[in-house]
Structure 1
Amino acid sequence: MKSSLLLDGLEAEAPTVLTAPAARVRIADDMAMLRAAAELTRDISAARPAIYWGDMLGSAVLGYGALYAAIVLVPVGWAILAAVASVLALYRAGSFIHELTHMKHSSVPGFRIGWNLLMGIPMLVPSFLYEGVHTLHHARTRYGTTDDPEYLPLALMKPYSLPLFVVVSLLAPIVLLVRFAVLTPLGVVFPKLRERIVAQYSGLAINPAFRRRAPEGEARTLWHWFEAGASIWAITLLTLVATGVVPLRGFLIFLGVASGVAVLNQVRTLVAHLWENDGETMTVTAQYLDTVNVPPPTLLPALWAPVGLRYHALHHLLPSLPYHALGEAHRRIAAAVTEDSPYHKASYAGLPGLVRSLMANTMRGVA
C-alpha cells in the first residue's frame, strides 16, 4: 500500500512546516534515463496472472493461518511469533491494493474481486479507498503539491511530526471499524453526511487537505458493493464480539495484528520519498530523485517493502510495470545508463539510513 492507512480528514490540520526552503534549482528531465526506462522494459510489461494469484493467495493463507495460531496458542512466546508472521504475511497480501490501482483488470481476470473478498473486506481496506486516489499521486502536475493526496513535506516539518506520523497509524483498525460500522449506515440515512464521508473519509491519503470526488459509472457500482460488504462485515464482527460468540481476546489479537500491519505500512511510507518538495510542480526526473529504491543485495526490504515497493522510485518512472518485473527492469536500466546518470542517485542501502536522514532534515530548522 503506497499511502498510509490513515483516513484523510481525521487530522485537524497538517503538521506545521518549519520554514520555507531556500529556492531550489529546477531539475531538468534526463531524457536518456527516461528513454532507457521505456525502451528496455517493453518486453516485460505484461502482468503474469499466475504470479499475482499465487503470491496473493499464498500470503493471505499464511497470514490468516498465523493469525489463527496467535489466537489459539497458549504459550505467549509462540503466540507472539505467530502474530509477527501474520503481520508480515497479511501486509504482503494487502500490498496488492497498490497493484490494483495500476493494472488493467482484464490482464488478471477476477483479481480485483478476489482480492477484495479475501483481503479488502475482511481487513476493512476495500480497494475503493485507494483506487481513484493513488493515481492522482502519479499525475505529472500533482506530485508533491498541495493537490497530491499522498504527499506531505515531512522533511521540512517539525521533528515531532515523524513519530506522530507513525504512532497515529496504531489507531487505523479502530478508525476503519467506525468508518464502516457506523458512518456507512448513517450516510445512507443522511445524504449530507454521506457527501462528507465520500469527500473526507473514503481515501487512504496522508494529505489532510485532500478531498476526493464522488465516483461515477462502474467505479461507483463497485464502490457501493465493496462498501456494503465491508460495512456488513464490520457490524457482524462487532456484534459477534458483543454477544460473546467471538472471544474478546481473539478480537484484541486481531486488532493488534491489524495495527501491526498499519504501522509497518506507515514506516514504509515514511521512507518511500525524501519528502523535500515544498509544493512546487516537479519534472519527472525530480520526482524520481525525491523517491526511493532499496535494491538488492539488502534482504530486509523484501519484508517491509514487499510486492515491488522496494523499487518505488522506478515505479514512478514506470507506474504500469507489474511488480514482478521491477527487479529485472532495475538491473537492465542500471547497467545501461552512465555512471553519472540520475538513475543511480535514487538507490539507498536500507531503512535505518533513510530514517536517520529524514530526522536530520527535520532538525535543521530547530536550532
Structure 2
Amino acid sequence: MTSMTLDRASAPAASVRARIPDDKAMLRTAAELTRDLVQPRAGIYWADLIASSVVGYGALALAIATASTAVMIVAGVVSMLALYRGMSMIHELTHVKHAQLRGFRAGWNTLIGVPMMIPSFMYEGVHNLHHAKTRYGTSEDPEYLPLALMKPWTLPVFVIVSMLAPVGLLIRYAVLAPLSALLPRLRTAVVSRYSALSINPSFRRRMPEGEERARWVRLEAATSVWAVALIVLTATGVIPFKAFAIFMVVGAGVALINQVRTLVAHLWENEGEAMSVTAQYLDTVNVPPPALLPVLWAPVGLRYHALHHLLPGLPYHSLAEAHRRLSKVLEPASPYHKASYKGLPALVGKLAVATIRPR
C-alpha cells in the first residue's frame, strides 16, 4: 500500500552522498569472497517458514482462546514476532531463483501471504526496482523517501500510520478487489496505486503480463475470498469478534515493527539523484552482532541490509558468513565498515537529529 505524502525540509540541490564514487576494490572483494555462498538451501527456507507459521498461528490461537489477559498479551507478542519473521520472507521471494526452491513461493503464499493479506505479487516486481542502480533513491524508487531531509513530525507519522495497514489490506481485498473486477477505471487505480508494498506515494505500478499476470490474478482472487469470508464470518458471529480483533491487532503490531525497521534500514539522505553502488551501500544499514535484538526486529537477514544491497543475490542464511569474511579481509579504511551501526536507538536518534539539523 502507498503511504501519505510527507513534507520535506529544504535541502541542498545536490546530495553529497550521491557524488561518492564506487570503491572498486570493495566491490571486487565482496564478489570474490562470496561466490560459494550464493546457493539457497531449501531445507533452511522451508524449516524457517514452517516453524514461523506454526509458532505464529499457534500463539495467535492461544491469545484468542485464553481467558487470562497476561497470557493473551504474551501470546500475542509471540505471534506477532513469529508472523513478522514469516512475512519478512517475502523479501527473499523477490531475489531467489524459484527453480532452486521449487514450490516455496506457493508454500509461502499458502501459509503466510494469503492469510495475512500480503500475497507475493505485492512485492514481486516492486522490490527489484529498489535495487536498480539508476532508480535507487530517486523518485522512481518505490521504497525510498528522503526522510532525513523532511520535517521532524514526519517520522512519528511515518511509523504510526503503518498500524492502519491491516484495515487497508482488508479494504483492498474484501471491497476494492471484487468491485474492480466490474469497474475498469477502479481496476486501473487498484493495480497502479494499491497493489504494492511501497512507501513512495508517487510510485505507480503496471499489471504484469503473461505468467506473472496469471499468478497475480490467482493470488488476488484467493486473498479476496479469504478477506470477504473473514468479514462475513465475523459479522455473522461464526468468528467471535474477539478473535477478529486480536488477529487485526497482531497484524497492526507486525506492520508497526516492520515500519520501525524500515525507518532505520537506510539513512535516507539522498535527494533524488542516481547513486553509485558504494553510495547506495553507505546510505544503507548493517546492524551486526554483538547486537542481539535485531534478531527480532530485523529477521531473515535484514540486519545485514547494507550487505544485501552490495550482494543482493546472496540468500539470507549466507549473509552472516559473508559479513564475517569481508570484515576480516577489508582494511579498516574500507567503506565497508562505515555501514555498520550498534543498534536501533542510535539509528533512530541519528535520523531524528538529521530532520532538525539546520540546512
TM interval, short-chain normalised: over 0.9
Deviations 1:217-262 (A, max 9, x none): 1110110000000000000010000000000011000000000000
2:87 to 91, 94, 98: 94
Instruction: With the length of structure 2 as denominator, give the TM-score of the two structures.
Output: 0.98
Letter in 2 for 1:215: P
Q: Quote the offset at 1:364 in angstroms.
A: 1.2
Conservation of the 8 A alpha-carbon contact between 1:19 and 1:365: no
Q: Quote the offset at 1:24 in angstroms.
A: 4.2
Please provide the CA RMSD for this pair: 0.9
Worse-superposed segment, 149-158 or 21-30: 21-30
Q: Does 1:284 align with 2:282?
A: no
Q: Does 1:59 align with 2:63?
A: no
User: Match of 1:189, SS?
Assistant: coil
Taking the TM superposition and a 5 Å limit, the aligned residue runs for 1:10-159 are 11=4, 14-21=5-12, 23-25=14-16, 26-159=19-152
Letter in 2 for 1:277: N
Q: Which residue matches 1:4?
A: none
CA separation in 2, counterparts of 1:22 and 1:194? 38
User: Match of 2:181, SS?
Assistant: helix
2:169 to 156, 169, 176: 176
CA separation in 2, counterparts of 1:238 and 1:345? 49
CA separation in 2, counterparts of 1:213 and 1:239? 31
Q: Quote the offset at 1:21 in angstroms.
A: 2.5
Conservation of the 8 A alpha-carbon contact between 1:272 and 1:291: yes
CA separation in 1, counterparts of 2:38 and 2:172? 37
Q: Quote the offset at 1:58 in angstroms.
A: 0.3
CA separation in 1, counterparts of 2:178 and 2:349? 44
CA separation in 2, counterparts of 1:233 and 1:78? 28
Q: Which residue matches 2:296?
A: 303
Conservation of the 8 A alpha-carbon contact between 1:18 and 1:365: no
Q: Which residue matches 2:328?
A: 335
Q: How many matched pairs?
A: 357
CA separation in 2, counterparts of 1:21 and 1:131? 34
CA separation in 1, counterparts of 2:90 and 2:103? 14
Q: Quote the offset at 1:365 in angstroms.
A: 3.8
Conservation of the 8 A alpha-carbon contact between 1:186 and 1:193: yes
Deviations 1:64-87 (A, max 9, x none): 000000011111111100000000
Q: Quote the offset at 1:23 in angstroms.
A: 4.1
Conservation of the 8 A alpha-carbon contact between 1:103 and 1:322: yes
Conservation of the 8 A alpha-carbon contact between 1:33 and 1:337: yes
Instruction: With the length of structure 1 as denominator, give the TM-score of the two structures.
Output: 0.96
Conservation of the 8 A alpha-carbon contact between 1:180 and 1:227: yes
Deviations 1:284-305 (A, max 9, x none): 0000000000000111000000
CA separation in 2, counterparts of 1:236 and 1:83? 23
2:308 to 297, 306, 315: 315
Taking the TM superposition and a 5 Å limit, the aligned residue runs for 1:156-305 are 156-305=149-298
Letter in 2 for 1:69: L
Q: Which runs of 5+ in 2 are unaligned?
A: none
Q: Quote the offset at 1:320 in angstroms.
A: 1.2
Conservation of the 8 A alpha-carbon contact between 1:291 and 1:313: yes
